[in-house]
Structure 1
Amino acid sequence: MWPIIKITYREMISKRIFTITLIMSLAFLLLFGLATGYAVKEMKDSFGGAGPEALLQKNFFSTQLLGMGLYFGSVITALLAILSSVGSIASEIESHQIDTWLARALPRYKYVLGKFFGLASMLGLYALLMFAGLLAINQWVGGGALAVQVSGAQILKAAAFFVSMPIILVCVAMLLSSITTTVTGGIILIILYGISFIGGFIEQLGVAFSNSSLTNIGIISSLVFPTDSLFRQTTLSLFDTADDPLSFASQGIFGTTSPPSTAMLIYTILYGIVALGLSIRVFQKRDV
């Protein structure tokens, strides 16, 4: 299985999409740093006071800015995960490169697991660096004006949820890659990812405005594809104000008024495990 992991590393690094994503990620972090710097200057000029109203405004802008950075950082990470892993098996079947491996005495489940561990570890590391970069910019560039007050335990917990998202995506991508073609699998997974995040926003709005219909739509979309719960738990771990009825007002659209339950988080983990298990089972029976 280790040779598969090493080859997966090399294949991923050699892909043009990986290089382009790294360059664009650095550009995104630079833009986020510039936006944070200008926001700090504006905050000092406009809300330099220390009264309750000024502190509330500073809290809103700090959590909103970091939440926005984490949101778009998660989108970039998710797209990289989808584009890198959805063809992990399908593209090699289409090009018949997989014949070389299957001709050896290598069980098919080890081939799938080797691909998974290679992709999951690389994308997990990328997600961790993205999270650390955004938080470092918020803390250092934001300074006393826009830096969100967080503890070490909050950072570790939030980072764990942020890193888990691309790993769940890889699990589902492996299943789609073992069933259908690269293009079809990519389209399906991008649509599922979009449903998850749009449904998450709908659920937050439903809870904020006490609209049960919107809330139920959001919950159903989370059950269909639960990655949004990991993003909401990330912001909850950092901002830690989901029990506050004014959290939506203080954090904006990137806040969490409806925190994921423990059952939902367990469901998300099981979702990924089942998808990976099904990918192994389907690939073992597939005629290539």
Structure 2
Amino acid sequence: MWPIIKITYREMISKRIFTITLIMSLAFLLLFGLATGYAIKEMKESSFGNAGPDALLQKNFFSTQLLGMGLYFGSVITALLAILSSVGSIASEIESHQIDTWLARALPRYKYVLGKFFGLASMLGLYGLLMFFGLLAINQWVGGGALAVQVGGDQILKAAAFFVGMPIILVCVAMLLSSMTTTVTGGIILIILYGISFIGGFIEQLGVAFSNSSLTNIGIISSLVFPTDSLFRQMTISLFDTADDPLSFASQGIFGTTSPPSTTMLIYSILYGLVALGLSIRVFQKRDV
């Protein structure tokens, strides 16, 4: 299985989409840093620079929303990289008949699938960590005392775990689709599922904010169809958690969480990924290539 993991590393690094994503990620972090720097400059020249309780509340709200926006788009970039790099992990090799070389050896098919999974999941998990800590570092260092969100070590570790969990679940589902369909078909399906999850998440937040049960139920159903948004919402809760009020700032704004996911939903998200990975092994073992 280890040779499959190493080859997966090489294939992913050699792909043009990986190189382009790294360059665009650096550009995104640079843009976020510039936005944070200009925000500090404007804050010092406005009423936010006052030391009153109202100004402090506005400052805290603005800082959490700015970091939340960065983490949201960072998660989108990470998800797209996960989809584009993993959805053809098996299907593309079947289409090009490169897989025949591996299947001709005494290598069980489940080891081939697991090797692909561990290779992709570890690479994307590392990328997710770099993206998360890059955005948080910019907030803490560039933001300084004005815009830096006050977070503890436990909050950072919990939030990072949920942030990394999103691309790993995407890899699990991508492996299933890659073992069943072509690369293009699997990519389209997974992008649509990802879109349903995040749109449904926003709908659920609006439903809770306006006490609309219909909108809330739509959001819950979309989370059951594809649970990645639940991990993002839990990430914001974990990062912006405070001792006085866990939802004081995490529940505010367009990137907030007015309806935090339950423990049952988080367990469901983990099981969702494990079942998808297990099905990908089962389907591939029975597939005639």
Give the TM-score, by structure 1 length. Answer: 0.97
Name structure 1 gaps, 5 residues minimum.
Answer: none
Quote the Cα distance in structure 2 between the aligned partners of 1:261 and 1:119: 28
Retained in 1: the 8 A contact 2:208–2:258? Answer: yes
* Contact 2:117 2:172 (C-alpha < 8 Å) held by counterparts: yes
**CA displacement 1:6-63 (0-9 Å, x = unmatched):** 0000000000000000000000000000000000111111311111110111011101
TM-superposed CA distance for 1:208, in Å, is 1.0
The whole-number CA distance in structure 2 between the counterparts of 1:166 and 1:229 is 13
What is the distance in 2 between the residues matched to 1:31 and 1:90? Answer: 36
The gaps in structure 2 that reach 5 residues or longer are none
8 Å contact from structure 1 (residues 59, 250) kept in 2: no
For the structure 1 residues 242 and 209, does the alpha-carbon distance in structure 2 shift closer, same or farther, using more than 3 Å as the test? Answer: farther
- Contact 2:61–2:249 (8 Å) recurs in 1: no
After superposition, what is the alpha-carbon deviation per residue over 1:234-270, rounded to whole angstroms, capped at 9, x for unaligned? 1101111699597479731111111110000000000
Alignment-derived partner of residue 238 in structure 2: 237
Going from structure 1 to structure 2, the CA distance change for 1:243 and 1:107 (only over 3 Å counts) comes to farther
- What do residues 54-109 of structure 1 show as CA deviations (whole Å, max 9, x unaligned)? 01110111010000000000000000000000000000000000000000000000
Structure 1 vs Structure 2: percent identity of aligned residues? 95
User: How many pairs are equivalent?
Assistant: 288
Going from structure 1 to structure 2, the CA distance change for 1:106 and 1:250 (only over 3 Å counts) comes to closer
Give deviations 1:158-195, integer Å, cap 9, x for gaps. Answer: 00000111000000000000000000000000000000
Report the CA distance shift for 1:247/1:93 in structure 2 as closer, same or farther (over 3 A).
same
Check the 8 A contact 1:131/1:162 in 2, yes or no.
Answer: yes
Report how far residue 154 of structure 1 moved: 0.2
- The runs of at least 4 consecutive aligned structure 1 residues that moved more than 4 Å come to 241-250
Report the 3-state secondary structure (helix = DSSP H, G, I; strand = E; otherwise coil) of the residue aligned with 2:242. Answer: coil
d(CA) in 1 for partners of 2:203 and 2:11? Answer: 38
Q: Distance in 2 between matches of 1:242 and 1:270?
A: 30
Change in 2 beyond 3 A, CA 1:245/1:120: closer
Q: Does the C-alpha gap of structure 1 residues 250 and 264 become closer, same or farther in structure 2, counting only changes over 3 Å?
A: closer
1:199 Cα deviation (Å)? 0.4
Distance in 1 (CA, whole Å) between partners of 2:246 and 2:78 is: 30
How many angstroms apart in 2 are the aligned matches of 1:159 and 1:245?
Answer: 18
TM-score by length of 2: 0.97
Instruction: Map 1:4-153; keep pairs closer than 5 Å.
Output: 4-45=4-45, 46-153=47-154
8 Å CA contact 1:131, 1:159 repeated in 2:
yes
- Distance, in Å, in 2 between the alignment partners of 1:251 and 1:135 is 19
Distance 1:249 1:92 in 2: 43
The two structures, once aligned, show a CA RMSD in angstroms of: 1.5
